[in-house]
């Protein structure tokens, strides 16, 4: 049984709007992408005010201090009151975002399917005369 001054980790991550569903939050916890106070934990771990949560989402790494608890999802403004991100975490995330923005796009920006002439040139290049 969980005390009134604590909440399940997966519920809190969902209520704090880091994940769209509670099952996605649970999958991230099970995958080892969430730590509490430097230790990997289970989804039912009791989270208390003052704990430190480290969360990896894609290329970003969040370091959060828990300032409030909620089991239900509220508005985005209410969700921001549940945690405080460290200054180092914000700076590191901004650096990663800037680097990703400056990278070349990884997707092909071409005009679609090759023309008949281009297909013939590809076949010739591949040796399929």
- Along the 129 residues of the chain, how does pLDDT read in single tens digits? 445 689 999 999 999 999 999 999 999 999 999 999 999 999 999 999 999 999 999 999 999 999 999 989 999 999 999 999 999 999 999 999 999 888 877 666 667 888 899 889 989 888 886
**What CATH code is carried by the domain that includes residue 78?**
3.10.290.10
Distance between CA atoms of residues 37 and 11, nearest Å: 18
Domains held by the chain: number: 1
pLDDT tens, position by position, 40-75? 999 999 999 999 999 999 999 999 999 999 989 999
Distance between CA atoms of residues 111 and 32, nearest Å: 41
58 phi-psi bin (left φ>0, alpha ψ -120 to 50, beta other): left
pLDDT of residue 4: 66
Cα dist. 21→10, 29, 60, 96, 100 in Å?
A: 9, 13, 19, 25, 26
Kindly report each contact of residues 34-43 with a partner whose C-beta sits within 8 Å and lies 24 or more positions away, as own/partner.
34/9, 36/9, 41/9, 42/9, 43/8, 43/9, 43/10
**Residue numbers of the domain that contains 9:** 1-89
pLDDT of residue 127: 87
Distance between CA atoms of residues 16 and 12, nearest Å: 6
Q: What is the pTM of this model?
A: 0.76
Kindly state whether residue 95 falls inside one of the protein's structural domains: no
Kindly state whether residue 106 falls inside one of the protein's structural domains: no
Kindly state whether residue 98 falls inside one of the protein's structural domains: no
């Amino acid at each position: 049984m969980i005390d009134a001054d604590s909440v399940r980790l997966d519920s809190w991550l969902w209520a704090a709007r880091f994940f769209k569903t509670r099952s996605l939050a649970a999958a991230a916890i099970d995958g080892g992408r969430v730590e509490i106070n430097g230790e990997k934990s289970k989804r039912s771990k009791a989270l208390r005010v003052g704990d430190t949560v480290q969360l990896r989402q894609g290329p970003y790494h969040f370091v959060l201090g828990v300032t409030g608890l909620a089991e239900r999802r509220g508005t985005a403004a209410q969700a921001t009151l549940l945690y405080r991100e460290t200054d180092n975490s914000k700076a590191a995330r901004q650096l990663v975002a800037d680097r990703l923005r400056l990278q070349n796009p990884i997707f092909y920006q071409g005009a679609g399917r090759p023309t008949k002439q281009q297909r013939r040139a590809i076949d010739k290049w591949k040796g399929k005369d």
